[in-house]
Structure 1
C-alpha cells in the first residue's frame, strides 16, 4: 500500500504506442491530451477522458501517484470530510472503509483507481516549460529529456504544488530546527521539546494536537481570525449538514445556524485567543477559499493549556521568537504550518488569459476549468475533491466532443 512506481520511458505501454508518435529521438506527438500531474486531479480527468473514449498521457515529476499524500503529509492525517464527498468520478471508496479514511487508505484508493482505469503516468518527468506553439497550433511541453506535442494541455498540478514559506523577520538567525509541515511526520520526533507551530488552519491544529499527544510542548501562532467548527454536529458531519441545509435555506441563515451550534458545542473561542471572522464560514470559504477548521480535539487541548495560543510573530531570534504582544520565548523547533501554493507560473508560459500571477485561475468556480487554444485546468477550485470531480467531468466532455469530430474527418 502506498508504494511508488518505477520510472517508465517512452513508449510507456502498448496503448501509448497507438496514440503517440515519436517524431525524433527527443520529440513525441501525443494524439490525446497531455496531463501535467498525477495527483487526484490528474487521475480523475484521465479516467473521465477514458470514459469518453479519449486516451491521455500523464507527466508526473515525482516517482509515484498522489505524491503530496504519500510524501508530504503527516502520519495521523485523515480526510476532514466524509468519504462520500472525497470520491473521484466513476469509482467510489471501498464500502469497508471508515467514514473518514486515513492517509494510507486514501493512497490505497488512489492506486486502486489508477489500476481500475489502467492509468499509467510517466514518472520522474519534470515539466520545465509548456507553451502554445503558434507555428503548428500545438502545445509544446518540455521535460528534462523529451519534448511532447499535443492539441490539448491539462494543468493538474493543483493548488498545493509547493510548500509556502512566508518571510519572517530573523528566521535565518534561528539555531534550532526549522521545518514546514510538508516534511513533518509525527510528534514522536519532538518529545519533551518546546515547539512553535506557525499557522492555525487544519494542519496547524492537527500538528499541534499530534505534538501534544507525544508529550511535546506546542505553542500555536494565531495571527488572523479563524472559524473553528466541530467536525460533526449531532452525529452528522458538519459539512454534510451544511450541504443539506443550503438546499433549503439562504447561505447566511445556514452560516448563523452553524455558528450557533458551534458555540453550543465548542464554546466561545474568543476566550482562548482565537477570534472568529465577521463573515460566516461558508460565505468566507466561497469568497476567499479559506477553509474553516474542523476540530478533532485540538480545541480541548487549547482550553486545558496543553497547547498555548500565541499572537503573531514579530521576529525570530537565535533561541526562539518575539511576539507582537511583547512576549519572548525560547523554542527547540519551529514548524511552519503555512500551507501550499501553485507552481504554475514557473513552467506554464503565455497563459495570462486563464491564470493570474499567483498561479490560480482568474475565473471563479465553476467556470475556471477552460482556457483558450485547448488549455484546461483541473483541481484549482478551492473546493476540494468535489471541485476536482466537476472540472474533470467538464474537461472530458469538452475534449471528448472535439475528439469525436476529429475522428469523423
Structure 2
C-alpha cells in the first residue's frame, strides 16, 4: 500500500528533527522516517566519554534549549540522546522509527520513497541521513596482513576494552585526539597523524566555531575574500580531557606510517611499532546511497546544491551533511538555520503547484 504525504524527511537525528520543527511551523503535511529503533540518532552509538564542544545552551536545536547537564560544562552523548528524545516528544513530530529508506525515485510530479515497510508518495523529500553509517577506512599496503584488531571511530566504546594493550590511534582531528586522550591512561598508546596536531586555543569552543563558520559563509556569499573559516584556527578543540592528556605529555603524535605489517605498523624509514589494535579515526562519508536512483552524485561523492536544494532536482533538499549543505549544518546549533531555509523553500515550491 502506498502512503501519500507532502514531504518525507529521511533520517530522524538532529537534522531530521530540525527539518520537522520548521516544516511544522510552515504548516506542511510530513513524515520523518528513521532507521533507528529509538530516538537519538547517531548519538546513541558514540564512545562513552564523548563530550560536546559547547555548553548545553549553545548546542540546541531550534525552539528548545538543551538544559545543562549536572556537574558538566560540556554535555556527554547520553545527555544529547535524552534531549533529542524529549525534543521529538515535545513537538509531537511524526517520526516513524525502525523504518529504513532504501531508495528515492522520480515518479511523475512527485518522488517515490521505497522503504523496508512499504512506499511513500511525496511532493518533496528532505534527506537528513548524516554520515555516521558510512565510516571511511583508508586502504594502505598490508592492511590484510595485520593480525590484530582494526576498528573505526564508529565502533570504539571505552578504553577499558583495550586495557594493557598496544594501540595505534590514527587521525589528527577531534575524534582522534579525544580517543587518544581516552586511551592514554589505559593502554600503550601510539598516536599517528598526517601532520603535527593543531590545537585551537583553549578558550575556543563550539560557540566560536559556529560564529566563524557563519561569517565565512556570509563572506563567500557576498563575494569577499575567503579567510579560511574554522580550518584556519586549527583541527582540534581542546576539550578538558584532551587538554589534560596533552598537558600531561601523553599526546605526542608520530607521523603517518606507510604500511601495516602482520604485527603492527611500519614507517617509511623502516621503523616499526607492534600493535594489538588499530583504531582508525579517519572520518565519514555522506550516507547518500538511497538517492542513487536520482543520478545526482558529482565530484567527491557530493550532490550539487544551492543552499540545501539539489540543483538538478528541486524537490530534494539535503540537510546536515556539512558546510556544503549550510554553514556548520552537521552540528546541533548549526543545523537550525539551513533547516528553516529548506522548509521555506519547500513551502514555496508546494504552494506554487510546481
**TM bucket by the smaller chain?**
0.7 to 0.9
Please give the alpha-carbon distance, in whole angstroms, between the structure 1 residues aligned to 2:76 and 2:38: 18
The answer to whether structure 1 residue 387 and structure 2 residue 301 are counterparts is no
- Report SS of the residue matched to 1:349: helix
Q: Is the 8 A contact 2:191 2:252 kept in 1?
A: yes
Please give the alpha-carbon distance, in whole angstroms, between the structure 2 residues aligned to 1:67 and 1:124: 12
Task: Report the alpha carbon displacement of residue 284 of structure 1 after superposing the two structures with TM.
Answer: 3.1
* Matches for 1:319-358 after TM superposition, within 5 Å: 319-345=263-289, 347-352=291-296, 355-358=297-300
Please give the alpha-carbon distance, in whole angstroms, between the structure 2 residues aligned to 1:218 and 1:328: 14
Change (3 A) 1:100 1:191: same
The answer to whether structure 1 residue 219 and structure 2 residue 190 are counterparts is yes
Q: Which has the larger radius of gyration?
A: 1
Q: Is the 8 A contact 1:159 1:379 kept in 2?
A: no
* Aligned mate of 2:316, from 366, 370, 375: 375
* Matches for 1:129-140 after TM superposition, within 5 Å: 129-133=103-107, 136-140=108-112
Task: Report the alpha carbon displacement of residue 232 of structure 1 after superposing the two structures with TM.
Answer: 1.6
Please give the alpha-carbon distance, in whole angstroms, between the structure 2 residues aligned to 1:96 and 1:171: 41
Aligned match of 2:346 = 399
Aligned match of 2:151 = 179
* Aligned mate of 1:318, from 262, 267, 292: 262
- Report SS of the residue matched to 2:54: coil
CA deviation string 1:147-198 (max 9, x = no partner)? 2111001111124441111112111111111111111111011111110001
Aligned match of 2:223 = none
Aligned match of 2:30 = 56
The answer to whether structure 1 residue 65 and structure 2 residue 39 are counterparts is yes
Change (3 A) 1:358 1:142: farther
Please give the alpha-carbon distance, in whole angstroms, between the structure 2 residues aligned to 1:291 and 1:360: 25
Q: Is the 8 A contact 1:218 1:308 kept in 2?
A: no
Q: Is the 8 A contact 1:54 1:403 kept in 2?
A: no
Q: Is the 8 A contact 2:264 2:275 kept in 1?
A: yes
- Report SS of the residue matched to 2:16: helix
The answer to whether structure 1 residue 44 and structure 2 residue 15 are counterparts is no
Task: Report the alpha carbon displacement of residue 242 of structure 1 after superposing the two structures with TM.
Answer: 8.4
The answer to whether structure 1 residue 232 and structure 2 residue 203 are counterparts is yes
Q: Is the 8 A contact 1:381 1:388 kept in 2?
A: no
- Report SS of the residue matched to 1:122: strand
Change (3 A) 1:220 1:179: same
RMSD value, Cα: 2.9
Change (3 A) 1:232 1:316: same
The answer to whether structure 1 residue 243 and structure 2 residue 211 are counterparts is yes
Task: Report the alpha carbon displacement of residue 340 of structure 1 after superposing the two structures with TM.
Answer: 1.1
Q: Is the 8 A contact 2:40 2:82 kept in 1?
A: no
Q: Is the 8 A contact 2:167 2:187 kept in 1?
A: yes
Aligned match of 2:59 = 86
Q: Is the 8 A contact 2:69 2:75 kept in 1?
A: no
Please give the alpha-carbon distance, in whole angstroms, between the structure 1 residues aligned to 2:309 and 2:352: 21
Change (3 A) 1:346 1:55: closer
Task: Report the alpha carbon displacement of residue 392 of structure 1 after superposing the two structures with TM.
Answer: 0.8
Task: Report the alpha carbon displacement of residue 144 of structure 1 after superposing the two structures with TM.
Answer: 2.4
Change (3 A) 1:242 1:53: closer
Task: Report the alpha carbon displacement of residue 375 of structure 1 after superposing the two structures with TM.
Answer: 1.0
Task: Report the alpha carbon displacement of residue 369 of structure 1 after superposing the two structures with TM.
Answer: 3.8
- Report SS of the residue matched to 1:321: strand
Q: Is the 8 A contact 1:362 1:368 kept in 2?
A: no
Aligned match of 2:3 = 28
Q: Is the 8 A contact 2:199 2:234 kept in 1?
A: no
Aligned match of 1:190 = 162
Scaled by the length of structure 1, the TM-score of the pair is 0.74
* Aligned mate of 1:292, from 205, 223, 235: 235
